[in-house]
């Protein structure tokens, strides 16, 4: 009778009956769909042996308990033994703790596991999860639980995973007053006022989520740094966070304001070559490590957007980075020095500046410095080329900086699968050592034999109950972790796993939602910046269209600087006849991108000025193609909303309705983008809208005067 009741209860999918605010992210541990599925996993999950005794082992024990409770809805009591003589069907232990019989069975496979890697192996009716470290064991446990969450088979499991990237960090642009720069999911989760005495449960759940996807570091403060974070008042608070994160394998990093010696101790200078400044940073590093013995190091934004830096003293970026690197070197710390640098004067072409400044410094940085480079040479636009520094600095480790928060991609209200964009960048060929020299091979160190490798993601996390504002923003956080672990990961598989773990294993739901997700990125590019247009967002907050933005303190903070539309043409000439930014790329790309006939339409206006009536490879004129792509973007957004509507009843109503509501916003804002951009550019082209492109709902004057106050994220 008991089994019949359970069978019925599971069969009606109780997850659909319960409200779900999304707080559990992809760690939902959804109940098994029916008694057959439950029985398949039951014997294994009721017979687990966990060997070892450390804070991380305790984390593993708790996670197993949470998952088993979820899978069986509390109807199975977790039984996790620490006896190495028992008959457990799942064994979780470091290699050194495994019984000799198991080690003999695994043989040479054990030698293939690195410090953070793990092996999951099905042998003689048992599943072994093993590693050489506590943290590798934690990652392996989460991998096994993911396999169960996605209803994978246990028999025949043979998974050996080593992370390809050593430093896998979230960068929080969180301020000490709890505002978040470019944050669209509420305020900062770090409540500095309550620290160090109160550790909020959300900090622990944050660490759990990150560990489940292999993230091993967090820079918790804004790159537009406040020097106060380096004072004892805040170091004590940061130490409390570090203590909470440590069992999950997450190191804490802090952003360092370049002129902190002047701000905190009234030094007359922050010149990195001044002995007083060098001594100050060494003393500060000693102080930090007294609070946080495993402090990861500094993240630095300098000489950019008003931040002080080496330029103030006619020094190089290497001079600045090396001073901080020398300070943390004795403790094993690193410096992540951002390449987002441009000088005080408006250049001829801003996208050239990072390359021009950093390329001559190749090999001049200390070995504990890694240069953090944005995915593209401009600023996290909906579509950019890969940054030309990738492949151009063989003697200096480079790490990727992706923006998980959607500053320029619809912010919190648009469903955009950012992993599609990141995959496009990671698989781009730099040709640094011939064909196949992809960006991913630069990042994992295999191309240039970097000893230090890294990937950073600018966080989209806030105090909203679902963490990211839009429920689908969780997918970007998840995918970032997976790609940071292995840049060669398949984005379709990542998306499918996330959907199953977060919502449902129902194939109809998963296939439909996956299809929406994988088409969402191209849809957004079409209704925002087709054909290589870029940086045409509204001023300052970057929410909504602003192709008319011009004037102000810097030309390169305006839209007109980038699109240069007039009655004859549109686009930025970056060939040899223009700014020659094309010259920063390999000869193979110069040949392709140097000719408008061979340049992919996706990057046409990035590299070329093209007349409005120029015929393109599609057979359309430039104007007609632009208008039709804007229309396709709108139709794509409508299609997303309609496809999602078909999924009602497949998941819980709370999250279904929330996403549905946001899709309606996305459709309206896609129409806003299309109408305002086509009206603005249409006054230059002088051509009518082609057949099939809807007439704008208002005139241009309406859109020019459309404003909203207190847009979040500034």
The residue with tokens 């480790």 is 397
**DSSP 3-state assignment of 80?**
strand
In terms of residues, how long is the chain?
714
The token pair at 426 is: 């990671």
What is residue 545's DSSP assignment? B
Cβ–Cβ under 8 Å, residues 637 and 390: no
Radius of gyration of the chain from Cα atoms?
26
Closest CA to 170 of 15, 401, 342, 368: 401
- Residue from 39, 112, 305, 595 carrying the catalytic annotation: 305
Strand partners, 400: 373, 455
Element (H or E) spanning 497, and its range? helix 491-502
What is d(CA 25, CA 498) in angstroms, rounded to the nearest whole number?
9
Chain Cα centroid distance, residue 231 = 29
> Which position among 379, 522, 625, 652 bears the catalytic label?
379
Q: Which two tokens stand for residue 57?
A: 């082992």
Active site residue 181: no
Q: Beta strands 80-81 and 297-300: pairing type?
A: unpaired
Query: Coil, strand or helix: which one is 443?
Result: helix
Provide CB contacts within 8 A for 343, sequence distance 6+. 303, 311, 353
Taking the C-alpha atoms of residue 239 and residue 292, their distance in angstroms, rounded to an integer, is: 5
Peptide bond into 196 cis (omega under 30): yes
CA distance 362 to 385: 22
Q: Report the C-alpha gap between 93 and 71 in whole angstroms.
A: 23
H/E element, 338 = strand 334-338
Note if 305 is an active site residue: yes
Q: Which of 63, 161, 407, 556 is catalytic?
A: 407
Alpha helices in 529-603 (DSSP H): 560-563, 587-593
Q: Nearest-CA neighbor of 572 among 536, 625, 621?
A: 536
CA distance 255 to 271: 18
Query: In whole angstroms, what is the distance from residue 238 CA to residue 292 CA?
Result: 8
| Residues whose CB is less than 8 angstroms from the CB of residue 630 and which lie 6 or more positions away in sequence, other chains included | 526, 527, 530, 673, 674, 677, 678, 693
CA 668 from chain center: how many Å?
26
Interatomic CA distance for residues 416 and 516, integer angstroms: 9
For 692, list phi and psi in degrees, rounded to 5: 95, -10
Rounded distance, CA 514 to CA 56, Å? 34
**Catalytically active residues, by annotation:** 305, 379, 407
């Amino acid at each position: 009778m008991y089994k019949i009741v359970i069978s019925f209860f599971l069969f009606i999918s109780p997850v659909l009956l319960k409200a779900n605010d999304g707080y559990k992210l992809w760690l939902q541990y959804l109940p098994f769909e029916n008694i057959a599925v439950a029985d398949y996993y039951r014997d294994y999950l009721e017979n687990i042996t966990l060997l070892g005794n450390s804070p991380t082992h305790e984390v593993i024990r708790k996670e197993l308990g949470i998952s088993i409770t979820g899978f069986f809805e509390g109807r199975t009591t977790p039984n996790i033994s620490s006896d190495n003589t028992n008959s457990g069907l799942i064994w979780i232990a470091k290699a050194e703790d495994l019984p000799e019989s198991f080690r003999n069975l695994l043989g040479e496979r054990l030698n293939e596991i690195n410090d953070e890697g793990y092996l999951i192996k099905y042998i003689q009716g048992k599943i072994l999860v093993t590693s050489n470290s506590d943290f590798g064991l934690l990652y392996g446990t989460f991998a096994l639980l993911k396999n169960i969450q996605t209803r994978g088979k246990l028999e025949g499991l043979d998974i050996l995973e080593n992370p390809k990237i050593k430093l896998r960090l979230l960068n929080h642009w969180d301020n000490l007053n709890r505002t978040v720069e470019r944050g669209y999911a509420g305020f900062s989760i770090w409540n500095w006022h309550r620290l160090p005495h109160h550790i909020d449960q959300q900090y622990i759940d944050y660490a759990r989520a990150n560990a489940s996807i292999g993230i091993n570091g967090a820079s918790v403060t804004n790159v537009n740094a406040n020097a106060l974070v380096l004072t004892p008042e805040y170091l004590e608070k940061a130490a409390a966070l570090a203590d909470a994160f440590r069992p999950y394998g997450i190191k804490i990093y802090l952003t360092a304001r370049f002129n902190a010696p002047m701000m905190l101790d009234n030094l007359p200078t922050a010149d990195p070559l001044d002995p007083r400044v060098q001594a100050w940073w060494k003393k500060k590093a000693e102080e930090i490590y007294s609070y946080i013995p495993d402090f990861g190091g500094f993240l630095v934004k300098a000489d950019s957007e008003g931040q002080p830096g080496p330029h103030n003293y006619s020094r190089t970026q290497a001079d600045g980075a090396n001073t901080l690197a020398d300070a943390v070197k004795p403790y094993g710390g690193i410096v992540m020095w951002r390449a987002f640098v441009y000088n005080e004067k408006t250049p001829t072409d801003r996208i050239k500046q990072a390359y021009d400044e950093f390329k001559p410094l190749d090999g001049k940085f200390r070995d504990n410095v890694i240069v953090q480079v944005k995915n593209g040479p401009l600023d996290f636009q909906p579509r950019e080329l890969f940054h030309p520094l990738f492949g151009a600095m063989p003697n200096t480790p480079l790490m990727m900086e992706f923006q998980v928060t959607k500053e320029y991609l619809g912010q919190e209200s648009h469903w955009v699968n950012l992993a599609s964009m990141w995959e496009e960048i990671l698989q781009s060929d730099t040709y640094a050592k011939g064909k196949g020299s992809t960006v991913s091979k630069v990042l994992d160190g295999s191309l240039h034999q970097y000893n230090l490798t890294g990937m950073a993601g600018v966080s989209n996390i806030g105090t909203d109950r679902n963490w990211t504002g839009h429920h689908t923003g969780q997918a970007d956080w998840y995918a970032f972790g997976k790609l940071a672990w292995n840049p060669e990961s398949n984005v379709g598989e990542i998306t499918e796993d996330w959907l199953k773990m977060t919502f449902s294993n129902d194939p109809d739901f998963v296939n439909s939602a996956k299809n929406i997700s994988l088409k969402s990125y191209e849809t957004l590019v079409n209704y925002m910046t087709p054909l290589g247009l870029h940086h045409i967002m509204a001023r300052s907050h970057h929410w909504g269209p602003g192709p008319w933005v011009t004037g102000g303190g810097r030309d390169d903070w305006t839209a007109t600087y980038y699109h240069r539309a007039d009655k004859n043409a549109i686009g930025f000439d970056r060939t040899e006849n223009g700014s020659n930014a094309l010259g920063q790329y390999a000869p193979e790309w110069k040949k392709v991108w140097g000719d408008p006939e061979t340049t992919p339409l996706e990057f046409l206006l990035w590299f070329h000025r093209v007349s409005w009536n120029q015929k393109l490879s599609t057979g359309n004129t430039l104007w007609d193609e632009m208008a039709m792509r804007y229309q396709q973007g709108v139709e794509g957004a409508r299609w997303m909303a309609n496809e999602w509507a078909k999924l009602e009843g497949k998941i819980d109503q709370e999250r279904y309705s929330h996403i549905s509501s946001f899709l309606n916003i996305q459709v309206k804002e896609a129409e806003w983008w299309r109408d305002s951009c086509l009206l603005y550019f249409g006054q230059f082209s002088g051509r009518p809208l082609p057949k099939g492109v809807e007439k704008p709902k208002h005139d241009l004057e309406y859109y020019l005067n459309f404003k909203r106050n207190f847009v979040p994220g500034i």
